[in-house]
Structure 1
């Protein structure tokens, strides 16, 4: 049975590490994927990467049919973008970056290679929300948060707010 895992918050150092490739899709990896989906749905997210739940491996789950519905879960092992085109601005938030949203520039279309939970190779082309969400989750696998992609001024303003919340012991 899937369990809800705690989500790490910025500035946890695990979020800044590059995740390791998954050598073999094991029953433990499948359980982790189930836990991640359950956690993502519980927190009303659209995507979640393994480092966000403290696991340094290249696994992401996405379901852009949510957060209310659970109709299109996508689980990808060792995903990587092999081509991209165009640019689009997206307003992004993150389950690991508390109470903050900002515009981020992403590729408009991407081609992706990965493995599924059966260990079989998959290749997909995507655009729109799915492409944006996937790029966001792939950043997590590379130790990058969306706030690493915004201006220094916006980032420092967010960090000042975060310090006040921590000092007052009132994290949102």
Structure 2
């Protein structure tokens, strides 16, 4: 499976992913590759949008190391019953080097499926809760900086503009296809799994 992490402002990062209706061997392989990429990039979570797939799945391991903690493959997540709030610094594999404080609920209730099709129904708190919320945001086309207050977000504007300029210059040389082509490719995946 030839997947790689896409960088902001890749259009798939703003795409609201489609629910997964079937799990097959290829989806298992995608989940395995996503976990590998997450570890390669020193991440704790990775959403399908971040590897240019418009489907509602993310992987995570709050420990961030392959042989530590617990690996999760989460399909079609829904979040409810938020409790409390806290601010903490977040980063993103699609925004390398960018960090900002984001206020989120301390705990949430997760309803989803694992890669075997078993339901996940549980209250999650602490760091794992933050990772779940961050990755679910990705599936809805929301980036962590969208959740930051305007004043804090402005501190990231220069770096975001630099990333945008770099992406657009790669498009102008043909190294990255134009946005409309990138978006058109998403239909292949939504037709297959959604």
Shorter-chain TM-score above 0.5? yes
- Is the Cα contact below 8 Å between 2:9 and 2:164 reproduced in 1? no
2:152 counterpart of 1:154: no
Give 4+ residue runs of structure 1 displaced > 4 Å after superposition.
163-169
- 1:76 is displaced (CA, Å) by 0.7
What SS does structure 2 have at the residue aligned with 1:98?
A: coil
Q: What residue is the counterpart of 1:133 in the other structure? A: 131
Question: What is the CA-CA distance between 1:147 and the residue it aligns to?
Answer: 1.6
TM-score using structure 2 length = 0.79
Distance verdict in 2 for CA 1:48–1:167, change over 3 Å: closer
- Provide the residue aligned with 2:59 in structure 1: 61
Superposition RMSD in Å:
2.1
C-alpha displacement of 1:42: 1.0
**Greater relative contact order structure (CA < 8 Å, 6+ sep):** 2
Indicate whether 1:80 and 2:81 are aligned: no
* Cα distance change on mapping 1:69 and 1:118 into 2, 3 Å: closer
Once the two structures are overlaid, the 10-residue window that deviates more, 133-142 or 146-155, is: 146-155
Count, aligned residues? 167
**What CA deviation, in whole Å up to 9, does each residue of 1:15-67 have, x standing for no partner?**
00000100022222111111100111111100000010011000010001123
Please state how far the C-alpha of 1:4 moved relative to its aligned partner. 6.8
Distance in 1 (CA, whole Å) between partners of 2:35 and 2:3 is 10
Q: Note if contact 1:4-1:38 (Cα within 8 Å) is conserved in structure 2.
A: no
**Rounded Cα–Cα distance in structure 1 between residues aligned with 2:87 and 2:67:** 25
Answering whether residue 14 of structure 2 is matched by residue 16 of structure 1, we say yes
Separation (CA, whole Å) in 2 of partners of 1:27 and 1:168: 37
Whole-angstrom CA distance in 1 between matches of 2:82 and 2:138 = 18
| 1:93 lines up with 2:110 in the alignment | no
For the Cα contact (< 8 Å) 2:8–2:164, is it kept in 1?
A: no
* 5+ residue gaps, structure 1: none
* Unpaired stretches in structure 2, ≥5 consecutive residues: 171-194
Higher strand share: 1
Distance 2:160 2:72 in 1: 32
